[in-house]
Amino acid sequence: MPVDKWGIPLLYPSKSGGFEWFQLDDIANDEHFHPDGMTSSGGGSFTIHFSGPTSPDIFTDRSFENTNSIGGCNMDFAQTASRGYIYKPNDPRDVELKVIVNIQSGKDGGLSISGNTGRHSGSGCCSGFDYMINMQYLDDPAIFRFRKEMWHVSYHTDPVTGEFTLPDVNFKLQGHGNIGVGFIRYNKKDGVSSGKDSVVIELWMNLDPDNNPENWKMMKRTEDKGGWGNDGDKCNGAKDQIGTWGGPKYRIKSNDSSATMVFKHLSLREIDPNGSFDDNPNNPPPPDQPPDPTTIQGQFKIQWNVNTIGASSCQGTGVGGGGGGEVGNTKFYTVYTDSGTDSDKELSDSSTFQNRKRLVMSPASSSSIFSGKIPRQIDIPLEKVGTPTTPDIHCKIWNSSGTVVYDSPTTIDPSTLTTSYTKQIFDFSTNTHTLVVGDRIGVEFTGTSSSNYVIASYKGTSTANTKYYQYEGTTWQSKTRSLVMDVWE
């Protein structure tokens, strides 16, 4: 995989002719950087002392620092979305921003990285629209959230992911030493509907960048397809406006009244999220590490297949059914991959377990991320207790009347499960049914033993505009937690 001048990998290919910036060793002399709160710099690192709202910024066009978006604080969301930028036509839109940070001290505990935004001038300023990753660094373990600042100041936490912790980050960030943080934002073409893009935000981290500079991992992602925020109409947009436009300003911000953080290796690049490293001329190899084409290609295939949305030229088609089907499909909601399992739930048609046979998800309104989708593959972690042997486990779609409209040709022999969770892949590649409000999709096991049975899981809270049910006896029982599964379209 290509790396930058510090040996840090480029997570996505650069956009051909797009903006690229790697900080100067002495960032105080860097024309793209606004050093709010900076107390020292040099040797590739710089120290920020936060004292209340403090925001060192990156400007892709430094002239923007003394001006504002088109329309200023009255920026019109509808017009901005139509033209695709807030300041100039070359405003970056799909970006990768990375930094190494050492949070040395603080007492209020919040750090955010955000873009693509404009001026945050006064109350009610529409040019302050922003997507951000927020980290609560005094919590143990650290707490994260994706946020949308619809206008300055109106914050909305992502309703799908909410506040979350990460299995790999089982510590507080303050005092941990250097960590790498990556903010990635890009448009997904037709992600909402034909002709209407969604916006994807990804959190990447490297928990030991000093010893393993290439060990970056995508920790969490979310997709703004609507339903996030309720006051965008103030700026002549949809109430849940999706910010599909580019902008020239990116922020590192904390409201901590007493925090000191040391940063280094700050970089910002405009990316092509659907491109290939092999085909992109903008990815410079490190001057003292000539790239090995064979090594780059091999590493790229693994990284890209795991982390990109949609197929690339190296991926192949993918058809589900357990043969690496994720490669050719697009995951539009996940619980298992991102967060693992949480609350065990037994499946057995026995009175011991309330004759529970099914765990399902159901779109509750047309605003559900599942509504209007044609599932192509379902991944559900399952385990067994005892030695269940029959019948097979099914994954199905039922309509609101309880009639089966699709039964995956993949069925699972319960005896092949283990006593710990393993991902079971159900092929939906022949499914033609589009999910509508009231449909139910999930797992079914109708064995009758109270000592030999199957277990699935819930996790977190219900997804926005989506309901979850258990089928017990002949009745659907509503649940407030999400069924743990990955769904691919």
Q: In this structure, are 163 and 263 located in the same domain?
A: yes
Q: Does residue 236 share a domain with residue 122?
A: yes
Tell me: do 181 and 262 sit in the same domain: yes
CATH number at residue 462: 2.60.120
228 and 363 inside one domain: no
In a domain, 2, yes or no: no
User: Looking at the structure, do residues 149 and 35 belong to the same domain, yes or no?
Assistant: yes
Blockwise average pLDDT, block size 10, the chain, 489 residues: 92 95 96 95 96 95 90 96 97 98 94 95 92 97 97 95 94 97 96 95 96 94 95 97 98 95 98 78 44 42 39 39 47 75 90 93 88 91 93 95 92 92 90 92 95 91 86 89 88
CB atoms within 10 A of CB 74: 14
Asked if residue 9 is part of any domain, the answer here is no
- What's the Cα-to-Cα distance from 234 to each of 152, 249, 325, rounded to whole Å? 11, 22, 43
Residue 255 lies in a domain: yes
* Domain ranges, residue 218: 20-303
Q: Which residues contact 231 (CB under 8 A, 6 or more apart)?
A: 150, 151, 154, 239
Same domain assignment for residues 270 and 369: no
Question: What CATH number does residue 290 fall under?
Answer: 2.60.120.560
Query: 92 with 178, same domain?
Result: yes
Q: How high is the pLDDT of residue 334?
A: 77
Long-range contacts of 60-64 (CB under 8 A, 24+ apart): 60/19, 60/21, 60/32, 60/91, 60/92, 60/248, 60/249, 60/250, 60/268, 61/87, 61/88, 61/90, 61/91, 61/248, 62/31, 62/32, 64/118, 64/248, 64/249
8 domain residue, yes or no:
no
Residue 337: predicted pLDDT: 74
Q: Is there a single domain that holds both residue 289 and residue 151?
A: yes
Residue 378, in any domain of the structure: yes
What single string gives the DSSP state of each residue in 292-324?
-HHHHHHHHHHHHHHH-SS--TTT-----TTSS
What are the residues facing 58 on neighbouring strands? Answer: 33, 250
Instruction: Supply the pLDDT for residue 279.
Output: 53
Q: Which residue type is seen at 172?
A: K
Do 170 and 263 lie in one domain? The reply is: yes
SS3 48: strand
Instruction: Please check whether residue 235 lies inside any domain of the structure.
Output: yes
Shared-domain flag, residues 280 and 385:
no
With respect to residue 317, please indicate whether it lies within any of the assigned structural domains: no
User: Is the same domain home to 173 and 270?
Assistant: yes
pTM: 0.61
Instruction: Kindly state whether residues 200 and 287 are assigned to the same domain.
Output: yes
Q: Which amino acid is at 360?
A: V
CA distances 62 to 32, 38, 108, 300, Å, are 6, 18, 31, 34
Among 284, 303, 322, identify where a domain stops: 303
The structural domain count of the chain equals 2
Q: Say if 365 falls within a structural domain.
A: yes
- 322-337 residues labelled b (16+ CB within 10 A) or e (exposed): eeebbbbbbbbbbbbb
pLDDT score at 328: 52
